[in-house]
Amino acid sequence: MSTLTELDADPHAAYARLRAGAPVSFLPETGQWLVTGWRDAMTVLSDPARFANDHADLREVFRQAYEPGLMPDEVDTVTRPIARKAADDMFATGWAELTSEYFEPVAAVAGATMLGLGLSCAETLLRWGTTLADDPDADTSAEAEAIVERLRCRPAGSLVARLVHADTDPVPLLKTLAVSVLEPGWLAAWTLTALWTDPEQLAAVRANRPLLGAAVYEALRWGGLIGVLDRRTTCPVSLGGADLPAGASLAVAVASANRDESVFAGADRFDVSRKVRPHLGFGVGPHHCPAYSMVIALARTALDELFARMPDLRPSPGWRPAPHGWRLRLPGPLDVLWTRQRVS
């Protein structure tokens, strides 16, 4: 049996043990059945008739708003000048904590721009997203309601305005959106963390930056940013050797499934050259993430600008990875240095 403390500190060690001996096990602290293997995760996520998504209505609103979404080159057009300005603004210091000073702000401003909210809301999204990532129950309703009223006065033209006009209680939706807006920034931070684990792969990406797309996609699998997707059984089912009653709550650990050794060779290794195959970083089936292409493209562009401006970017002496969380696994601080020479 695993505990929340163990999962928060290092879920992958616990997941490996569970995949081998108890791929579907009960987690008393959450009252959920933890699903850790690829095969069982695919079964659950691909069968909404037996395994319901209690947030399906919320997800459908997002789907209608995001699909068809911006193409990667359109995301790049929006994101690149934002990332370039952020990199220029901090260039003279020669050091930074990249997660909070670069990746999160770039994601917030680019996200707010693409969502039609404008720059005035980017700071609010950034504050909400970082707060709610650590405490999903934090109360941001007062600020959210003020934004909702402002958006309801607009035509339903922008993405967020469409969301607000479509939902009778948009406050939970906006809270979800605030976290989602920062996910490309966290994914970019995870990608850089992963590249620092292997100097040869880092050198390869620096020399051939088009590899950043593959690096970001692999980091989503390896880092486990989106750790868990919740589902509920609609009828009695047998899964992974466990008999589950109707109404059982499931935590589908997609971060664990994405390191299943029966599916991914050398699953614990970050590998930019890994043969591309689908993983569960964005879910699968009818409830996959509708904004997946935007997330990948934004993270890639943020990293590309960073490498262009600071080609010798490196970890600060004494820096150690400090990821945390298991439902949403955040990369932690990235303390870095670079040489303050102008790159044209």
Read off the pLDDT of residues 39-75 as tens digits, 9 standing for 90 and up: 999 999 999 999 998 776 666 656 655 555 667 788 8
For 283: left if phi > 0, alpha if psi spans -120 to 50, otherwise beta; the answer is left
Of 125-129, 162-166, 263-267, the range with the lowest mean pLDDT is 162-166
Task: Round to whole Å and give the CA distance between 144 and 128.
Answer: 9
The gap from C-alpha 23 to its chain's centroid, in whole angstroms, comes to 24
Report how far residue 54's alpha carbon sits from residue 187's, in angstroms, rounded to the nearest whole number.
26
CA distances for 152 relative to 80, 122, 139, 234, 310, angstroms: 30, 18, 21, 36, 42
Can you tell me the mean pLDDT for 265-277?
91
Which residue intervals of the chain are DSSP H helices? 4-9, 11-21, 38-45, 56-66, 72-91, 98, 104-114, 122-134, 141-152, 159-166, 170-195, 199-207, 212-223, 254-257, 292-309
Q: How far apart are CA 291 and CA 39, in angstroms?
A: 25
pTM over 0.95: no
Instruction: State the fold for domain 4-334.
Output: Cytochrome p450 (1.10.630)
Yes or no: say if 126 and 105 are a contact pair by the CB < 8 Å rule.
Answer: yes
**17-38 b/e (C-beta count within 10 Å ≥ 16 → b):** ebbeebbbbebeeeebbbbbbb
Q: What is the pLDDT of residue 35?
A: 98
The predicted structure's pLDDT at residue 338:
97
More confident residue, 189 or 65: 189
Q: What is the mean pLDDT of the chain?
A: 87
pLDDT surpassing 80 at residue 204:
yes
Distance CA 52, CA 178 (A): 24
Q: Are 248 and 52 spatial neighbours (Cβ–Cβ below 8 Å)? A: no
What pLDDT, on the 0 to 100 scale, is given for residue 193? Answer: 97
Residue 74's pLDDT is: 87
The 10s digit of each residue's pLDDT in 213-242 is 999 999 999 999 999 999 999 999 999 999
Predicted confidence at residue 262, as pLDDT, reads 95
Question: Where along the chain do its domains lie?
Answer: 4-334
Closest CA to 286 of 12, 44, 31, 111: 44
| DSSP states of 187-219 | HHHHHHHHHTT-HHHHHHHHH-GGGHHHHHHHH
What's the Cα-to-Cα distance from 294 to each of 158, 281, 291, 301, rounded to whole Å? 16, 14, 5, 11
| 229-233 sheet: strands from edge to edge | 24-27, 32-35, 249-252, 229-233, 51-52
- Rounded to 5 degrees, what are φ and ψ at 315? -65, 145
Predicted confidence at residue 134, as pLDDT, reads 85
Give 108-154 pLDDT, tens digit per residue. 999 888 877 777 778 888 988 898 888 887 877 777 777 777 666 66
**What's phi and psi for 280, nearest 5 deg?**
-100, 20
Contact predicate 186/103, CB 8 Å? yes
Q: Which residue has the tokens 């569960």?
A: 280
Q: Which tens digit of pLDDT belongs to each residue from 276-289?
A: 778 888 777 665 66
